[in-house]
């Protein structure tokens, strides 16, 4: 297995695509089996042309890609500038099945069509989504039952002009809606990882009353009152971090004696219901679950990413990775758009790392696929036979 990457910045997006593709191709040194192409540009037509040109130049058997708010490759990240990144891989003995998902609507329901039939050899699927035209949250949740044991890794594409400007690429064809991706199966060693970048504050608590996505009681105390007690006991530095955005973690395993990084599915606290003294969170929470408030800062996010990358050791030696990093990370969190890709390359000890800045990230936590925010979702490729199947911590 071999992986390589390239990145180019140019006001002429097709020229950028050509330069990035040549760079990646020369590093690989042979015709790729799979290419992933990501483009950031102000005009949807130019973005589509760049994706098509790169796909044709790559010569890859299977190609996926999308437009984005920024791209990652060649050891750096580029945000909100005309740029293209290209990732190519030679994947011997790996079966690749690309797909384009569309939504069929009736007066009573919607259905998603286009997903390949599941094979026992399938290891992982890469999924790139236009969030304006595709029910990504519901689809990702349903894959846990419809496609049990198949990890998803990917992110939400975007165009710089908002709804209608997203472009998706599959096997040389550009689409303006739905989702695209590729299923990988056979003799391939993979690790599908998610770094959520948060750390717990305050105690772990049992949810004693809840309704939908509203937390009503924590450990027998009204949720807003419990939060106020916890905030009062925090040191000033952590109180300031809470004011920048409070999160809550839902424990993935109720039987852990002591919770730490990676033990929670992190969701945002998006508001309050004063009348019921409840907290509104970004997911449905059930009575009996264990939760713990979380905070995020640059140091915590960097430490969490480093710990997460250590989970890729079973697939060593690592040959490359696809990186889907939230637009809320990069220079917004770390002051530089290069942070995540540099840490991933150093932590994995591998070249061939590329991806894009996503408007939402897809990846498994606790063995189930989820849609995330402010995370880094990473699909790590190791040498065939170095570890059986796919690792999804």
* pLDDT tens-digit readout, 13-28: 999 999 999 999 999 9
pLDDT (tens digit, 9 = 90+) per residue, 307-326?
Answer: 999 989 888 899 999 999 99
Comparing 107-111, 270-274, 304-308, 340-344, which segment has the lowest mean pLDDT? 107-111
If asked whether residues 83 and 224 sit together in one domain, one would say no
Higher pLDDT, 165 or 233: 165
Which DSSP category does 119 fall into?
A: -
Residues 36 and 139 in one domain: yes
For the chain, give the percent of residues with pLDDT over 90. 81
Whole-number pLDDT of residue 260? 66
At residue 297, the pLDDT reads: 87
Q: Are residues 171 and 241 in the same domain?
A: no
Q: Which of 275, 295, 315 is the last residue of a domain?
A: 295
pLDDT at 389: 57
CA distance 133 to 279: 30
Q: Into how many domains does the chain fold?
A: 2
Verify that 57 and 124 share a domain, yes or no: yes
pLDDT(219) > 70: yes
When pLDDT is averaged across residues 344-357 and rounded to a whole number, the result is: 95
- Domain shared by 95 and 156, yes or no: yes
Same-domain pairing of 52 and 7: yes
pLDDT tens-digit map of 224-244? 999 999 999 988 888 888 877
pLDDT at 140 over 90: yes
Q: How far apart are CA 184 and CA 181, in angstroms?
A: 10
* Of 2, 3, 74, the residue nearest 38 (C-alpha): 74
The domain boundary residue, chosen from 278, 295, 312: 295
Q: Is the peptide bond before 199 cis (omega within 30 degrees of 0)?
A: no
If asked whether residues 56 and 103 sit together in one domain, one would say: yes
Q: How confident is the model at residue 41 (pLDDT cuts 50, 70, 90)?
A: very high
Return the structure tokens found at 90: 């030679």
Give the end of a domain, one of 295, 323, 354.
Answer: 295
Residues 134, 14 within the same domain: yes
For residue 236, what is the domain's CATH number? Answer: 2.40.30
Q: Answer yes or no: do 96 and 240 share one domain.
A: no
What average pLDDT does the segment 246-268 reach?
82
Q: CA–CA distance from 56 to each of 8, 35, 64, 115, 349 (Å)?
A: 17, 10, 12, 24, 30
What domain range is 277 assigned to? 199-295
Model pLDDT, residue 321: 98
Are 236 and 376 in the same domain?
no
> What distance in Å separates the CA atoms of residue 205 and residue 256, rounded to the nearest whole number?
13
Mark whether 35 and 69 lie in a shared domain. Answer: yes
Residues 18 and 77 in one domain: yes
Check pLDDT > 80 for residue 338: yes
Which strand ranges, in their side-by-side order, compose the sheet holding 2-9?
2-9, 83-90, 34-40, 62-67, 168-170, 173-175
In this prediction, residue 388 carries a pLDDT of 44
Residue 139 has what pLDDT? 95
């Amino acid at each position: 297995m071999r992986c390589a990457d390239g990145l180019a910045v140019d006001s002429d997006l097709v020229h950028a695509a050509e330069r990035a593709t040549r760079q990646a191709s020369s590093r690989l040194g042979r015709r790729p089996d799979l290419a992933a192409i990501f483009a950031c540009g102000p005009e949807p037509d130019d973005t589509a042309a760049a994706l098509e040109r790169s796909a044709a130049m790559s010569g890859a058997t299977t190609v996926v890609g999308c437009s984005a708010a920024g791209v990652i490759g060649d050891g750096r990240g580029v945000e909100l500038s005309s740029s293209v990144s290209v990732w190519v891989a030679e994947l011997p003995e790996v079966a690749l099945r690309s797909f384009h998902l569309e939504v069929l609507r009736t007066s009573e329901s919607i259905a998603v069509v286009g997903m390949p039939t599941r094979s026992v050899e399938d290891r992982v699927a890469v999924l790139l989504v236009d969030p304006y035209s595709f029910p990504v949250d519901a689809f990702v949740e349903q894959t846990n039952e419809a496609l049990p044991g198949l990890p998803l890794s990917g992110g939400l594409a975007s165009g710089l002009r908002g709804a209608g400007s997203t472009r998706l690429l599959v096997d040389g064809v550009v689409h303006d809606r739905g989702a695209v991706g590729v299923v990988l199966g056979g003799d391939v060693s993979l690790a599908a990882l998610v770094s959520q970048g948060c750390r717990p504050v305050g105690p772990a608590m049992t949810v004693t009353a809840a309704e939908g996505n509203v937390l009503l009681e924590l450990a027998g105390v009204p949720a807003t009152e419990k939060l106020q007690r916890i905030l009062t006991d925090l040191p000033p530095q952590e109180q300031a971090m809470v004011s920048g955005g409070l999160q809550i973690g839902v424990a993935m395993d109720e039987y852990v004696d002591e919770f730490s990084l990676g033990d929670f599915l992190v969701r945002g606290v998006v508001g309050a219901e004063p009348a019921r003294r409840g907290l509104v969170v970004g997911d449905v929470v059930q009575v009996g679950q264990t939760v713990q408030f979380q905070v995020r800062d640059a140091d915590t996010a960097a430490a969490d990413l480093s710990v997460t990358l250590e989970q890729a050791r079973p697939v060593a030696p690592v040959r490359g990775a696809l990186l889907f990093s939230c637009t809320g990370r990069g220079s917004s969190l770390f002051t530089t758009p290069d942070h995540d890709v540099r840490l991933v390359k150093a932590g994995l000890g591998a070249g061939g790392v590329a991806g894009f800045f996503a408007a939402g990230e897809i990846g498994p936590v606790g063995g189930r696929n989820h849609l995330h925010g402010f995370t880094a979702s990473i699909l790590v490729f190791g040498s065939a036979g170095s570890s059986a199947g796919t690792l999804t911590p």
